[in-house]
Structure 1
Amino acid sequence: MNIMLACCAGMSTSLVVAAMQESAKKQGKDYHIWAVEQGQIEDEVGNFDVLLLGPQVRHILRRVTAIVGDKAPVAVIEPTAYGRCDGAAVLRQAESLVNGR
């Protein structure tokens, strides 16, 4: 699975990405997880199975959903999981979105 995260500068989500990668590794899952700055989202459409936005950019959700269309689910990362850098919880959120739950 290809999971992309986006935030203002791609910096704060890099910590969440590292935690997600560690969680996926512990679970034996070979996922590609990366973060980008919000301005790069359009260039990445088609490269990810799910897009998660950092809570600080939740205001772009509607615009980004329109850009991505039906190519992948888009959601805002649950703020508590983001704040705690809970990679396992954010990974579960991504998997649920891809699996339609």
Structure 2
Amino acid sequence: MTRILLFCAAGMSTSMLVSKMKKAANDLGVDVSIEAYPESEMSKRVDEADVVLLGPQVKFVLPKAKSIFEPKGIPVEVINTMDYGMMNGEKVLKRALEISKK
């Protein structure tokens, strides 16, 4: 199972995207765990992630996120703004799975 964590300002807008990602995972038969948290919880969630995605509104924390997760071999990426705005759960899920295999 791939554990995907999304971080945003408060964890609310991203929770809608998480629902769409979970539906896409179910439709595609992919075994994943997807959760959303406020970016202030990044340090507390290191052991819960295989992939970390940041909401576009918190892309300024990318260097901090990379310093927390990448030393543990966990890839970090900012969600594509268009995919986030369109709440394209399937596309975001596929991208998360893609970067988890690098």
TM class, shorter-chain normalised? over 0.9
Calculate the TM-score normalised by the size of structure 2. Answer: 0.95
Q: 3-state DSSP class of the match of 1:2?
A: strand
Which residue is equivalent to 1:58? 59
State the distance in 1 between where 2:30 and 2:95 align: 15
Question: Which letter maps to 1:50?
Answer: V
Which residue is equivalent to 1:75? 77
Does the CA-based 8 Å contact 2:54-2:79 persist in structure 1?
A: yes
- Per the TM alignment, residue 70 of structure 1 is displaced from its structure 2 partner at its CA by 2.8
State the distance in 2 between where 1:85 and 1:91 align: 11
Calculate the TM-score normalised by the size of structure 1. Answer: 0.96
Q: Does 1:19 align with 2:20?
A: yes
Which residue is equivalent to 2:99? 97
Q: 3-state DSSP class of the match of 1:45?
A: helix
Question: More displaced, 10-19 or 67-76?
Answer: 67-76
State the distance in 2 between where 1:81 and 1:9 align: 19
What do residues 2-25 of structure 1 show as CA deviations (whole Å, max 9, x unaligned)?
000000000010010000000000
What is the total number of aligned residue pairs between the two structures?
100
Q: 3-state DSSP class of the match of 2:26?
A: helix
Q: Does 1:38 align with 2:19?
A: no
Same amino acid, percent of matched pairs: 38
Q: CA RMSD in A?
A: 0.7
User: Which segments of structure 1 move beyond 3 Å, counting only runs of 4 or more?
Assistant: none
